[in-house]
Amino acid sequence: MKIAVIGAGSWGTTLANLLARKGVSTTLWVREPELLAEMKEKGRNTWFLPDLELSPELQLHANPARAFAGAKVFLLVVPSQFLRSSLTSFRDILPKKPIMVCASKGIENGTLAPMSQVVAEALESLAPRYAVLSGPSFAKEVGLGLPTTVSLGCADKKLGRELQALFSTETFRVYTNEDFLGVELGGALKNVMAIGAGISDGLGFGHDARAALITRGLAEMSRLGKVMGAKPKTFMGLSGMGDLVLTCTGDLSRNRTVGMKLGQGMKLSAILAETKTVAEGVRTTQSVYQLAHKLGVELPLTEQVYRILYEDKDPAQAVRDLMTRELKGE
């Protein structure tokens, strides 16, 4: 089974390399010709993951038609806000009933759609089959071969088992979950909480505050997920609690790093200008905030992160406002 990986950032490169090293016929689509040239010359993704040596079996292409030729499975690893436009541009060169495995984490701005809805709408005429891969997994650690466990959400049990076998290795263990919506929402919503945890750390509030934020953040994720049709217990698993703990505590977390710099007094525009990588939580916070208001769901942590990001609210004041809210039962 040939797989085409769409997106050559750090996570896309890592997953493509993992599959190629396993012996799966894998092609990585690289959008930037300059990056492609460097990857072929140096055997590394020098822009996003310079320490990872690429498998010689990994095929690299800038031409999407060549990259997708013969593939049955397509692994989507482009930034979530560009997923719809990317799929629309590829629609004429994709096969009928493609298997789309989404590793992009976010909720689309404007439409407020999860990635499953984006894929379904963008490729409606092709009748895509959908799965989502999410869980506590830093690209660098997966690339180093450190033990990692993730969740694969897929409503089709048979397809889920096939993809589980495809992606699993001795160091990358995949669990299946039919609640694909819960799996993808966990991966998106935890990034908002990670920014909040970073803000708390940047303000110097310590471990107590971070633990409280993680716990109440999980409550918010489950609350919104239930209203949207996901199963609350999914958020207690790898794509919920597992990924939440990782991104709220790990030094490799891009979203936590953004939050820390905000807590230390930097402005968002300056933070985003100094890095090539994408912190999905920044754009997702806007979508989640608007989604909560649309659905009538109370998300106090998300609201304060939104006001810090988009209304330039003082982070210390945001914390005071959270701590002095009306007292209530847990």
Q: Are 13 and 48 in contact (CB under 8 A)?
A: yes
Please state, as a whole number, how many other Cβ atoms lie within 10 Å of the Cβ of residue 241.
21
> Where do we find the tokens 């263990």?
173
| Residue 176 DSSP label | E
The C-alpha atoms of residue 312 and residue 207 are separated, in whole angstroms, by 25
φ/ψ of residue 15, rounded to 5: -65, -40
- 173's tokens: 């263990």
- CA 51 vs CA 48, 77, 139, 146, 257: distances in Å: 9, 20, 11, 14, 20
Across the chain, the runs of DSSP E, i.e. the strands, are: 3-6, 26-29, 44-45, 49-53, 59-61, 73-76, 99-102, 129-134, 148-153, 172-177
Dihedrals φ, ψ of 93, to 5°? -115, 10
Tokens of 1: 């089974």
- Give the β-pairing of 49-53 and 44-45: antiparallel
Measured between alpha carbons, how far is 40 from 32 in angstroms, rounded to an integer? 13
Q: Which of 2, 42, 190, 294 is catalytic?
A: 190
CA distance 221 to 226: 9
Per the CB < 8 A criterion, the answer to whether 180 and 151 are in contact is no
Active site residue 97: no
- The pair of three-digit structure tokens given for residue 214, joined into one six-digit string: 């993680």
Residue 22, token pair as written in the block: 């396993």
Active-site residues: which are they?
Answer: 190
